[in-house]
Amino acid sequence: MNKQELSKKLLYTKKSVYEKTDAKRIEAAFDYAKGYAAYLDAAKTEREAVAVSIEMAQAKGFKPYTIGQPLQAGDKYYYNNRNKNLFLFVIGTEPIEHGIRINAAHIDSPRLDLKPCPVYEDGGMSFFKTHYYGGIRKYQWVATPLSLHGVIVRNDGTPVTVNIGEDDNDPVFYINDLLPHLGHETDKKPLGEAFPGEKLNILIGSRPYDGEAGSESIKLNTLALLYDKYGITEEDFLTAELELVPAFKTRDIGFDRALIGAYGHDDRVCAYPALTAILAENAPRSTLMCVLADKEETGSEGNTGMKSLLLLDLINEISLALGGNPATVRNNSKCLSADVSCAYDPNFADAFEKRNTPMLSCGVVLTKYTGARGKSSTNDARAEYVGWLRGVMDRAGVVWQTGELGKVDGGGGGTVAKYIANHNIETVDLGVPVISMHAPYEVVSKVDVYEAYLAFSAFSRA
């Protein structure tokens, strides 16, 4: 054997989807991206993602599930948890004790939430006070158009749904920034200190009520407009859940249109493939479940996050309805924690360890462990499970790569994997590499998104 043959036989080289597949596959990926773009624009918040996903599920014959109801093979159900977290499942033909195949992605993204008493007036302008949600680089959110989404609950319990800034005829909102001419002192501060959270105030008005200047008349005018449109008063903000997100639409990026720019790829870029993968199954062998979780960006706490007992409750109910022991079902279940990874960025090469960082367009990323500083807080998936998944993806021709989130001791991050693994369910992270993760406008590669879809489908059928 000459050196070239031996190298081919023994060495592992990462190759891109473009190198490993053909034009037909790339075309399919570009087609798939159209549906994804529509999903992104319709689902900018966790509530909107739940609503849109339910519509898509209903169109495929999924029905609402009530805890305790009987189940049989072929049944397709969804469980809407408080309009912020969604479970979908399809009952397989195999005995339930063979386990459930679970795909778990999250549908919340970093954003700016309104405080309970948000409205004030100063300097001829009215503003909203915010408290940011999730990990953001604050400087990225100023001087950019924002839209307002969410729900206001009146004291009689009736909800008012809000969505302003997405329609081209809507106004948008804005965070003021300092002009460079006066920015010399700010420029000397470290990036993380130059934009304190209390300066992320949203510009919402400047016209006084009845044209009269004087105390609070701009604030009053703003509230009068909100009363006319929504019938709400300032007090109703006390019981609202309002989120400011970038007002941009999803667009292709680059002359070749091979990348997608959008708000909220993390983690809709995994939620959409996980969702469309389960919607495509009709009579699967394994029972399948897709989880679209809330609150991942704030630590998965609360009754709509993955630390909630609801996942266990649903597995218990499904198991018992089909005559299985829930502990056996969990023991034999397998989960893909479907979440994004970083993509190597040559503009910030120092932050990455190139040999072990996911590369853009090299396929879906299998992340054995996350965590930070000595793998702290990671679910480090065992080699047997990772090896099983490798075989599944290889046999299905899925283009995949491994990945680690940045350099050792350079940062790190977590996912929902450990919360699911703690229930005695085999779990590993699998997702799409992202450029500028958590920025108002993030970038992914169309071919990676499609490989994620193919991976979730292969996992469901294996």
Give me the residues that bind Mn ion (CB under 5 A), please: 266-267, 339
CB 191, CB 138: distance < 8 Å: no
CA 209, CA 190: separation in Å to the nearest integer? 41
CB 292, CB 103: distance < 8 Å: no
Question: What minimum distance in Å lies between the beta carbon of 196 and Mn ion?
Answer: 22
Nearer to Mn ion, 247 or 342 (CB): 342
Nearer to Mn ion, 65 or 141 (CB): 141
Question: What minimum distance in Å lies between the beta carbon of 131 and Mn ion?
Answer: 17
Nearer to Mn ion, 222 or 379 (CB): 379
Question: What minimum distance in Å lies between the beta carbon of 81 and Mn ion?
Answer: 19
Residue whose pair of structure tokens reads 């909203």 in the numeric block: 128
Question: What minimum distance in Å lies between the beta carbon of 340 and Mn ion?
Answer: 5
Question: What minimum distance in Å lies between the beta carbon of 48 and Mn ion?
Answer: 17
Nearer to Mn ion, 46 or 266 (CB): 266
Task: Find, among 122, 279, 290, the residue nearest to 202 by Cα.
Answer: 122
Contacts of 349 (CB under 8 A, 6+ apart): none
Nearer to Mn ion, 75 or 339 (CB): 339
3-state secondary structure of 301: coil
Nearer to Mn ion, 74 or 299 (CB): 299
CB 258, CB 447: distance < 8 Å: yes
Question: What minimum distance in Å lies between the beta carbon of 109 and Mn ion?
Answer: 7
Angstrom CA distances, 343 to 167, 260, 317, 352, 422, stand at: 32, 14, 39, 9, 28
Helix intervals (H) in 280-382: 310-321, 326-331
CB 428, CB 366: distance < 8 Å: yes
Amino acid identity of residue 323, one-letter, is: G
